[in-house]
Structure formats: structure tokens, C-alpha cells
Amino acid sequence: MKLTFQRGVLAASIALGAVIPAFAFAQSATPLTRAQVRAELVELELAGWHPGAGSDPHYPDDILAAEATVAARHAAAGAAAQSGYGDADQGTSESGGPRK
């Protein structure tokens, strides 16, 4: 009797341990706005995906290639932003009084 109770408690704790992290992960995702979805569609179209192509036999390949292109662009932009190299600043600064 005692062994059966211990097994039940162990099984319940294992089940809860597996379910609780799944709920925590699901709560962290935020839904996309319409503007975000439209921006993603524009990026995919610029990368070569054409949604109005009709019955394209290469549909999965086309969208996967466009997604890979967009991901590569995002990775390159992120790497450039972190590298410290890139375009020069566009601002100017002057200090001191007028020339005599």
C-alpha cells in the first residue's frame, strides 16, 4: 500500500515537472501584429517569393529559399551592427567660439 502511494506521488511529480515548463514557454510568445506580418511578407517578396504564382510545383522550395535569404540578411545586419564597422556617423559637431 505504501509503495503504491509512493509510486503515484512519483508519477504525479514527473508529470507536473514535464507540463509546467511547457506552460511557461507558451506564455512567453507574443502574437504578431498585422504590420509585422505585412513587413515579413514584403521581405519574403523582396527575397524572391511570389505568393500569387498559382499552382507552383516548386512552392516549398521557393518559400524555403526566400526564408533562408531573409534569415541571412538579418544575420548579416546583426553581425554588422555588433562588429563596430560600417557606415560612418552622419552627425557633425562644432565646439568653441567663433573664429577671429
Render pLDDT for 2-60 as a digit per residue (tens, 0 to 9). 667 667 656 655 655 555 555 555 555 788 899 999 999 999 999 988 887 667 777 78
**More confident site: 34 or 100:** 34
Query: Model confidence at 61, in pLDDT bands (50, 70, 90)?
Result: confident
Q: Is the pLDDT of residue 94 over 80?
A: no
Report the half-sphere exposure of 93 (CA within 13 A, side-chain side): 2
pTM score of the predicted model: 0.48
Structure-derived torsion over alpha carbons of residues 67, 72, 78, 84, reported in degrees to the nearest 10: -160
DSSP state of 90: -
The mean pLDDT of 68-96, rounded to a whole number, is 74
How many Å apart are CA 60 and CA 43, to the nearest integer?
17
Q: Determine the 3-state secondary structure of 99 from DSSP.
A: coil
